Amino acid sequence: MAALLTALVVVLAMAVALVAPNWSGSGIGQLPVSTPSATQPAQANPSTSSQRAVAQSQTTASEAQSKGVVLITTQTTSGAAAGSGMVLSSDGYVLTNYHVVETSTRITATVASTNKQYTATVVGRDATNDVALLKLDGASGLDTVTIDSDTVNTGDQVTAVGNSSGQGYLSAATGQVVSTSSSITVQNETSASQTETLTNVYETSTQAVPGDSGGPMFDAENEVMGITTAGETQTNSRTGQSSTVSSYAIPIARAMSIVKQIESGQSSGTVQVGPKAYLGVTVQASQSGSVTISQVVSDGPAAAAGLSVGQVITAVDGTRIDSQATLSSVLAQHKPGDKVSVTVSSGYGGGTQTASLTLGTSPIN
């Protein structure tokens, strides 16, 4: 009897969790059944089975395909992860997916063609469109990728290049454009909401894998037409092995418009420039919708305002807080140094209090 296959779509954060969950440390990301999901960061030490899967669908990237591409590794709040990025300027501005660096506390980028490493900082991000702009500290004289300006059509030949499975070198996966206007809902463990929806993205037949997230989707002329972002997989129910059947890419024109806004230095709409604002607490969300403080950082804004473990955050600046995603969304509208009011209750019918505090600078991207 033929083995059963289950279709799954994963947000390619195509970042691979190096020490963290899912995909045996290397995968396109989490896959909701029949729904594209954000690919997760690749694990630092991919398993033999995941390396074998990569070998079946990918080849080593050529010198031309490696030009201007970086291998990204991050330290995160839950371990380590890996992804890819593209050099936009000789002084080290790099384009990648936000999910590749989301929740990171340290980012390292290695130039694929020279193996030179740089510490990177997040200049700005657009979580809704899954785009981030990084700056490599002290970089100069770097080769850059070439941005495509041609119209993308169904049937065009494309190649996804990236740090597949966090292997530490670049691989390439070829295919064709299947659709120029797909919409997908992806699972993304690094996001507070756990999912994200991307609209009008390119669907391709390339077999990208986790770790490829943030890397270039090249056209036939080795010009970047998109950012590899998510993948759809099929899982063999007998062997448990998964293989990518479709990969999704954010159009490069959209990404570059976001980069331009970040470079202007002005946060607007879904684009945020600079570090995140910070309450200085760790919270635990319940199924009932309450958000309870589980840890207060010493000398942080919350500690200075007298907030304590066990209190339930019910509102920030008058906005009702009913989930961790809502709290993150409210804080995303602020920058470090902003003053906000935080309303908390003691839970179980306890009284409420409202404290005024000044938001700090988050150590987490």
* Of 37, 84, 104, 130, catalytic: 130
Q: Is 47 a catalytic residue?
A: no
- 140: tokens are 């100069």
Alpha carbons 146 and 210: distance in angstroms, whole number: 23
Residue corresponding to tokens 């991207």: 365
Q: DSSP assignment of 271-309, as one string?
A: EEESSPEE--EEEEE-TTS-EEEEEE-TTSHHHHTT--T
Alpha carbons 338 and 340: distance in angstroms, whole number: 6
Residue type at 257 in one-letter notation: S
Q: Is 99 a catalytic residue?
A: yes
Q: Residue 129, SS3?
A: coil
Alpha carbons 178 and 159: distance in angstroms, whole number: 13
Q: Is 290 a catalytic residue?
A: no
Residue corresponding to tokens 């694990």: 43
Alpha carbons 34 and 5: distance in angstroms, whole number: 11
Question: Phi, psi (5° rounding) for residue 50?
Answer: -70, -35
- 238: tokens are 């007998």
* Of 99, 148, 165, 191, catalytic: 99
* Of 165, 171, 182, 213, catalytic: 213
**Inter-CA distances, 123 with 171, 210, 260, Å:** 27, 24, 12
Q: Are 311 and 279 in contact (CB under 8 A)?
A: no
175 pairs with which residues across the strands? 158
Question: Phi, psi (5° rounding) for residue 297?
Answer: -75, 130
Question: Phi, psi (5° rounding) for residue 54?
Answer: -65, -45
Q: Assign residue 192 a region: left if phi > 0, alpha if psi is -120 to 50, beta otherwise?
A: alpha
Strands (E), 190-269: 195-204, 216-218, 224-236, 242-251
Among 229, 224, 186, residue whose Cα is nearest residue 87 = 224
Q: Which helix (H) or strand (E) holds 261?
A: helix 252-263
Q: Residue 325, SS3?
A: helix
Catalytic residue positions, numbered:
99, 130, 213
